[in-house]
């Protein structure tokens, strides 16, 4: 097979599973298509779709997942979210309770004293909820509901006018409920218009795929995983999922939670929506309903999904991985800043005073507690503690506050707390800006190393004054005549700050001896520009030796960080040494071998630290 012919994509075991699940239940003929709203009776009893949407926006679809139908009661869960956003939790709770009623969806059941509907998932509560949604910015209630649901589905939805008319013509029982609500002051205006809005809300057209996406939006803290829009205010997602869990399946809710264990909502159009918080969304569509008004196939499919995929909320709780992935100190892994030999020695012997913990996964109270304990255990032995959060997936407000308090208590013990990488942390928890943040672990390490070196060597530790070639690390101690010869033969160059000395991809022909100033080594970005810093060299150091030896193209850019002066040993000069100064060549090769073995030792130390 030629390299550019792709093979057939491999079968997904997840798709295979969903197809088998669909096939298993397709033959079922339990239940009746709803006909109390005459237009609903036109649905085909064989329509059957299953969709599963992941938190990162992948949607699996089997069967009639693009067949539209009316959302009906599933809209109640979302309208409840909009009402909460409009009025706040206290107000909504003062009008609509959250107690499972054990009654049918259309029961005329209101609490005896207050007249408050038992919960927002039965019709009484849903009509009351609809009445709390505000008309705003020149938009009617139904326009706002439609926009809200469209954001949840990630596409513009519309109303099935025939179903709406049909329900409006026959919905006398709901009208009776509306007048009761008005009587008890649960709604503040005559119910007529609210009821029309409610009927329209129930007649919004969706498909099975939409249900899975809406469910995944609920599972994803209200953010639509396809469009990334924050469709539902995150602070109310918990309220919505709670009433779905306790009341979403009407008088079957207790059994549903017991056997299936997922917050869910069904509608008489045949849809079922179920969400596993933080994880995924499920949509099932099949019009025949059981005695409670829930899709008969929908219940079967969700039962199997919950058992087969172990989705029950209480079955296994979140199994959080260890939050500390690695722990090492700066004597094992130092920053990419190349240090003069004295500073390097100090970091090798005292680098243990800088401790780095690499964290991972979801940081919440339970996972952060282990981080706090580890940090306190390290505190007596270090002066700097760096928390590298590169692999942290989420960081909640509890964790942010615990980190702030940890900083204070470490400070009392003379330990500084530092965090990185800044951009990731700020994206996860903007309020974390109060803590000392660094661009990445290298920047954090360098910052702490610099402070440690200043403390241990003195204020001048960082001085790298211009040097003669005889004082460079590579040539120090060579016989005077060798140095004089090299001084004559090695050309001198300079570069302005920001200028490129080596470009990634260049042929490597020379070794560079830095006599004054600082250079930075940066990895090339895909765009060709210079990206992450991987090294810093100061006056007295040399670079480019690997290229001189193996001739492989340069793998990184080297840029002058300050104005620099450097000298160069190129391949031609190196070759000439063989005949003109063979002893010098041997000495140079020995020095270079030492430098390379030094680097290799350092890499081995790092690998050992990363393996523990």
Q: Which residues are catalytic?
A: 73, 76, 198, 250, 268
Which of 123, 542 has the CB closer to ligand GLN?
123
Residue nearest to ligand GLN (CB): 73
Q: How far apart are CA 168 and CA 159, in angstroms?
A: 13
CA atoms within 13 A on the CB side of 438: 19
CB of 174 to ligand GLN, least distance (A): 5
Structure tokens at 407: 């900083």
CB of 121 to ligand GLN, least distance (A): 9
Which of 123, 338 has the CB closer to ligand GLN?
123
Q: At what angle do helices 234-247 and 208-219 cross, to 10 degrees?
A: 120
The DSSP letter of residue 479 is -
Which of 225, 248 has the CB closer to ligand GLN?
248
Q: How far apart are CA 47 and CA 33, in angstroms?
A: 11
**Are the C-beta atoms of 386 and 406 separated by less than 8 Å?**
no
**Are the C-beta atoms of 369 and 403 separated by less than 8 Å?**
no
C-alpha torsion sign, points 471, 474, 479, 482: negative
For the beta sheet containing 324-329, the strands, ordered from the edge strand earlier in sequence to the opposite edge, are 324-329, 354-363, 384-395, 416-420
Which of 108, 534 has the CB closer to ligand GLN?
108
Q: Which residue has the tokens 């615990």?
A: 402
Q: How far apart are CA 552 and CA 561, in angstroms?
A: 25
CB of 273 to ligand GLN, least distance (A): 12
CB of 126 to ligand GLN, least distance (A): 7
Per CB under 6 A, residues contacting ligand GLN are 72-73, 105-106, 123, 167, 174, 202, 267-268, 293
- Exposed/middle/buried for residue 566 (C-beta within 10 Å: 0-12, 13-18, 19+): buried
**Are the C-beta atoms of 212 and 225 separated by less than 8 Å?**
no
CA distances from residue 436 to 258, 407, 426, 455, 530 in whole angstroms, order as listed: 47, 9, 12, 20, 26
C-alpha torsion sign, points 225, 228, 232, 238: positive
Q: What are phi and psi of 217, to 5 degrees?
A: -65, -45
Strand 384-395 to 354-363 pairing: parallel
Which of 163, 556 has the CB closer to ligand GLN?
163
CB of 289 to ligand GLN, least distance (A): 9
Greatest CA span in the chain, whole angstroms?
109
Which of 50, 202 has the CB closer to ligand GLN?
202
C-alpha torsion sign, points 80, 85, 88, 89: positive
Which of 193, 482 has the CB closer to ligand GLN?
193
CB of 30 to ligand GLN, least distance (A): 18
Structure tokens at 46: 């064989």
CB of 239 to ligand GLN, least distance (A): 20
CB of 152 to ligand GLN, least distance (A): 17
CB of 280 to ligand GLN, least distance (A): 23
**DSSP readout, 519-588?**
EEEEEEPTTSSEEEEEEEEETT-EE-HHHHHH-PPP-SEEEESS-EEEEEEEHHHHHHHHHH-HHHHHHH
Q: Which residue has the tokens 């960081």?
A: 395
293: preceding bond cis by omega (within 30 degrees): no
Which of 157, 443 has the CB closer to ligand GLN?
157
Helix-strand-coil split of the chain, %, nearest 5: 45, 20, 35
CB of 54 to ligand GLN, least distance (A): 27
Q: Is 285 left (phi over 0), alpha (psi -120 to 50) or beta?
A: beta
Which of 176, 431 has the CB closer to ligand GLN?
176
Which of 254, 582 has the CB closer to ligand GLN?
254
């Amino acid at each position: 097979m030629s390299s550019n012919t792709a093979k057939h994509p491999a079968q997904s075991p997840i798709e295979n599973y969903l197809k088998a699940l669909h096939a298993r239940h397709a033959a079922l003929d339990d239940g009746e298509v709803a006909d109390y709203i005459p237009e609903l009776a036109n649905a085909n009893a064989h329509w059957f779709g299953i969709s599963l949407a992941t938190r990162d926006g992948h949607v699996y679809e089997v069967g009639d997942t693009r067949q539209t139908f009316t959302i009906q009661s599933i809209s109640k869960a979302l309208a409840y979210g909009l009402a909460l956003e409009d009025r706040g939790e206290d107000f909504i709770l003062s009008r609509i309770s959250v107690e499972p009623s054990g009654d049918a969806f259309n029961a005329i059941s209101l609490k005896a004293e207050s007249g408050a509907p038992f919960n927002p998932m039965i019709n009484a509560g849903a009509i009351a909820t609809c009445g709390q949604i505000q008309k705003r910015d020149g938009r009617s209630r139904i326009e706002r509901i439609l926009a809200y649901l469209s954001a949840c589905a990630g596409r513009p939805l519309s109303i099935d006018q025939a179903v709406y008319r049909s329900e409006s013509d026959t919905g006398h029982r709901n009208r009776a409920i509306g007048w009761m609500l008005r009587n008890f002051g649960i709604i503040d205006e005559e119910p007529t218009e609210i009821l029309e809005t409610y009927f329209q809300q129930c007649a919004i057209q969706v498909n099975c795929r939409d249900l899975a996406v809406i469910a995944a939006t609920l599972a994803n803290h209200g953010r639509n995983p396809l469009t990334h829009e924050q469709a539902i205010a995150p602070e109310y997602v918990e309220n919505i999922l709670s009433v779905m869990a306790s009341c979403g399946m009407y008088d079957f809710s207790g059994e549903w939670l017991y056997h299936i264990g997922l917050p869910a909502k069904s509608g008489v159009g045949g849809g079922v929506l179920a969400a596993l918080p933080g994880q995924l969304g499920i949509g099932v569509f099949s019009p025949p309903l059981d005695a409670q008004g829930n899709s008969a196939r929908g219940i079967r499919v969700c039962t199997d999904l919950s058992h087969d995929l172990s989705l029950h909320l209480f079955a296994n709780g979140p199994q959080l991985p260890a939050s500390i992935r690695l722990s090492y100190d700066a004597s094992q892994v130092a920053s990419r800043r190349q240090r003069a030999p004295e500073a390097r020695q100090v970091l090798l012997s005292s680098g243990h005073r800088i401790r780095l913990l690499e964290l991972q996964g979801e940081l919440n109270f339970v996972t952060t507690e282990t981080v706090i304990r580890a940090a306190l255990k390290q505190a007596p032995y270090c002066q700097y503690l760096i928390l590298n959060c590169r692999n942290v997936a989420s960081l909640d407000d509890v964790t942010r506050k615990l980190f702030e308090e940890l900083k204070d208590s470490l400070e009392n013990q003379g330990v500084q707390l530092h965090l990185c990488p800044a951009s990731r942390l700020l994206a996860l928890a903007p309020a974390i800006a109060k803590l000392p943040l660094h661009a990445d672990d290298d920047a954090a390490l360098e910052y702490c190393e610099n402070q440690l070196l200043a403390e241990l060597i003195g204020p001048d530790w960082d001085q790298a004054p211009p040097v003669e070639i005889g004082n460079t690390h590579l040539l120090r101690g060579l016989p005077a005549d060798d140095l004089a010869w090299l001084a004559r033969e090695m050309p001198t160059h300079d570069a302005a700050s920001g200028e490129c000395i080596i470009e990634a991809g260049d042929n490597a022909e020379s070794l560079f001896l830095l006599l004054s100033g600082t250079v930075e080594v940066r990895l090339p970005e895909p765009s060709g520009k210079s990206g992450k810093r991987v090294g810093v060299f100061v006056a007295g150091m040399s670079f480019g030796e690997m290229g001189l030896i193996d001739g492989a193209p340069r793998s990184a850019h080297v840029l002058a960080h300050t104005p620099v002066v450097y000298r160069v040993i190129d391949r031609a000069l190196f070759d000439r040494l063989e005949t003109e100064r063979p002893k010098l060549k041997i000495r140079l090769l020995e020095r270079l071998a030492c430098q390379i073995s030094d680097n290799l030792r350092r890499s081995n130390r790092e690998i050992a630290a990363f393996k523990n």
